[in-house]
Homo-oligomer: A and B are copies of this chain.
Amino acid sequence: MNFLIASVSAEPHIDHAPFILAGVLLSIIAIYLASKIGGELVNKLGLPPVLGELIAGVIVGISALKIIIFPESGTDGTDSLIMMVLQSTGGLPASEVTEVFAQISEVVLVLAELGVIILLFEIGLESDLKQLMGVGVQALVVAVIGVVLPFVAGTVGLIFIFGMPTIPSIFAGAALTATSIGITSRVLSELGKLTTTEGQIILGAAVTDDVLGIIILAVVASLAKTGTVDLTNLLVLILSAIGFLGGAILLGKFVNKVYVSLASGLKTRGEIITPALIFAFSMAYLGNAIHLEGILGSFAAGLVLDETDQRNELQKQVVPVADLLVPIFFVTVGAKTNIGVLNPTIEANREGLIIAAFLIMVAIIGKLATGLGAFGKPGINRLAIGIGMIPRGEVGLVFAGIGSSSGILSESLNAAIVAMVIVTTFVAPPMLRLAFGTDSDSVDVELASKES
């Protein structure tokens, strides 16, 4: 009936709603097909499925098939396969393509954001707060090494080896700092290593990294904008980060009680999952509102609810919800990645590629070294921890995006950052598989805690 409405009210203005729905449906179908095909094929090779989702995303995205593309890559939608289908089978007029394309993209991107929020909520549920606190000091050390080393080595190298100006060098150095929680936690979960000591150190360090990355971004951005650092803002940000995560953990017991009484008291459908989603989304909003990230909020929410009696049933119910939304996140991460910047036959890419080779080296070595920070746990797999911190994913792309939109980064430096993100993101999952696979002595926490 929707399409008819569009045709009936065609004279005054064209109703976009039915086209948006149709385009979102097609996008989701394409994303699911890509994620399943990619995930299954890569799984057959013994690699984590998420790598397949990312690669499949690249194939359906801006770099190849242009099925899942977004306005931010500079397209107006006329080269989008989905828009062509809507024009030929859905009766979408050519004049409306650009606007409808933007609206569809907006919805798909929000679904992807909800996907990573749910992913971190699920990871939080799978994690154990006590266990995470038990490796807190190690995680902090790992995080700090993994931020300081790549930042200093990257910035100094760009200034002295490549003769770049200071501000862009600092910016590129900052882009090397933050580990992608989403990718690294999903790989750990797929390898069944999330609840090992190594897994929890990586997770704790990645979360800390993310907070440090946000603080660095605030500093670098204000430096780039005004030439000075706004110390008040900085202090507010640091205090709110500490207050938010600390507050969530302290309030955990109270939230637990409320949740348990709700989940057992409610008599209508969704009694387990709806209150949990309300909590997760509220924390995500709060995380966003105090200038942190939504995913930190939903991770904290999952961590807190983890200790409730309803945990098992809740975890079971979150799985299909995650299956609905999470692939949208990973496929769009791949789809947005333009691997064209890696093509060495294009003259303009070469300078970027040389810088990229340097950044990639710094990015990998700088994080591999973090394994050294995992002290006091005998028999620990330091290599796995270092590798687990490598993928930069979306966080690095955020730096690249801001850098290029604000004009701080030259085209080649921007391309080099994107290349660094691509390589670190795609190289980490198979390496992590190997590092854990060859290591049969990996300390399993359940065993370890029984021994102690």
Q: Mark A residues whose CB is within 8 Å of B.
A: 1-5, 8-9, 12, 16-18, 20-22, 24-26, 28-29, 32-33, 35-36, 39-40, 43-44, 49, 89-90, 103, 106-107, 109-110, 113-114, 213-214, 217-218, 221, 225, 266-270, 273-275, 277-278, 281-282, 284-285, 288-289, 291-294, 317-321, 323-324, 327, 395, 398, 401-402, 405-406
Contacts and interface: CB of A to CB of B under 8 A. Distances in A.
**Closest A-B pairs by Cβ, 7 of them:** A270-B323, A317-B320, A49-B268, A25-B285, A39-B268, A8-B221, A32-B278
A402 B8 contact: yes
B274 A32 contact: yes
B113 A3 contact: no
B321 A40 contact: no
A270 B39 CA distance: 11
10 contacts: A3-B288, A8-B406, A36-B278, A49-B268, A103-B106, A270-B320, A277-B324, A317-B323, A318-B320, A321-B324
Interface residues of A: mostly helix, strand, loop or mixed?
helix
Contacts of A277: 28, 32, 324
Nearest to A110: B107
Contacts of A44: 267
Query: Taking each of A32, A213, A221, which has the highest tally of chain B beta carbons within 10 Å of its own beta carbon?
Result: A32
Given A1-B293, A32-B278, A269 B49 contact: yes
B281 A25 contact: yes
A287 to B, nearest CB: 10
A278 B274 CA distance: 24
A191 to B, nearest CB: 13
Given A5-B401, A8-B225, A281 B323 contact: no
A88 to B, nearest CB: 10
A323 B316 CA distance: 14
Contact of A288 (B2, B49, B294, B318): B2
A292 B323 contact: no
A327 B29 contact: no
B109 A106 contact: no
Given A268-B49, A293-B1, A317-B320, A29 B402 contact: no
Given A21-B294, A273-B320, A293-B2, A40 B106 contact: no
B218 A282 contact: no
A375 to B, nearest CB: 30
Nearest to A21: B113
Contact of A323 (B22, B43, B114, B274): B274
A8 to B, nearest CB: 4
A268 B1 contact: no
Nearest to A220: B8
Contact of A289 (B90, B294, B324): B90
A1 B406 contact: no
Nearest to A296: B1
Contacts of A113: 21
A324 B325 CA distance: 11
Query: Taking each of A5, A49, A288, A293, which has the highest tally of chain B beta carbons within 10 Å of its own beta carbon?
Result: A288
Contact of A274 (B36, B89, B288): B36
A190 B266 CA distance: 15
B273 A29 contact: no
A24 B289 contact: no
A17 to B, nearest CB: 6
Contacts of A89: 289
